Amino acid sequence: MDVVVGLVLGLGLLLAWLSCWEVPRVRRSRFAAAVRFDDRLVQAGVEGVSLAGFVAAAAGIALASAGLVWSVTGSLAVAACMGAAAAYAPFGVIAARARRRRARLRAAWPDAAETLASGIRAGLALPEALGSLGERGPEELRPAFAAFAEDYRVTGRFDPCLDALKARLADPVADRLVEAVRTARDVGGTEVGRVLRSLARFLRDDARVRGELEARQSWTVNAARLAVAAPWVLLALLATRPAGLAAFDTGAGVAVLLGGAAASLGAYRLMRALGRLPIEERVMR
């Protein structure tokens, strides 16, 4: 009994002591992969879609594709393979669209930085110089900066509008440009124009070098994709023959399909890893 009383007394004293201090609220950060995928959705032009919703849509496409293939072929193993390929297809489409948009933005940012520097040198205020890119900037960037100008006209709050612009573009170059403008707004100074012109020269050189490298490796990447897709095209042709499908419903046939899928996926991922060009990460969100 004395032990119970001592435990209760100690617990009460502990709770009384904890009540005297404010417990810091821990903010749970999202997984880095989820954050990167959200950026990829924005870069691909897909807005208003969460990661969970996109995964659910991909799962629905996979189930529908597997059901369709199974109803046509009657082979559960082939249907499972096609369903897995259909599940990956939306992610591949998003990655391809984001990659193409990054290439277009890479070519547009030098002109945007120089246009912004020219506007600042001409005496425009920083919000006006940024908003002018919605009319005179590169075509690919005009909608985002036009939306910034509209937000600033409505709210008149510069920092939240800059944060919205960064989220709307989801691009590391945009982060650097926005933070340079924010710093110039907060602390003043006359170096922002020189910084923007230096950034434009650096971006133009980087885009030229990256374009040459991508042109040289494009034939290798396309050949690797063709080599990965060829066995599965052959499987689709075999699916038109019921006698050929029966072999894949056996244990050995399932093992062949699993081994082929693992080899194709591993070889494709290895090719992408070896030939991947460095992609700048967003560090100033």
pLDDT at position 248: 72
Q: Where residue 283 falls among pLDDT bands split at 50, 70, 90?
A: low
Q: Which of 65-74, 162-171, 226-235 has the highest mean pLDDT?
A: 162-171
Could you tell me the pTM of the whole model? 0.69
pLDDT at position 31: 64
Q: Catalogue the long-range contacts made by 167-171 (C-beta closer than 8 Å, 24 or more residues apart).
A: 167/42, 168/42, 168/144, 169/42, 169/105, 169/141, 169/144, 170/38, 170/39, 170/42, 170/43, 170/282, 171/43, 171/102, 171/105, 171/282
Q: Is the pLDDT of residue 21 over 60?
A: no
pLDDT at position 85: 83
Q: Answer yes or no: are the C-beta atoms of 104 and 44 closer than 8 Å.
A: no
Instruction: Kindly state the tokens that stand for 122.
Output: 């001409």
Q: Residue 198 is which amino acid?
A: S
Each residue of 145-161: pLDDT tens digit? 999 989 888 888 888 88
Each residue of 239-273: pLDDT tens digit? 677 666 777 777 777 788 888 888 888 887 787 77
Q: Is the pLDDT of residue 198 over 70?
A: yes
Collect all residues with Cβ–Cβ distance below 8 Å to 137 and sequence separation of at least 6: 108, 111, 112, 115, 145
Q: Answer yes or no: are the C-beta atoms of 176 and 206 closer than 8 Å.
A: no
Q: Is the pLDDT of residue 28 over 80?
A: no
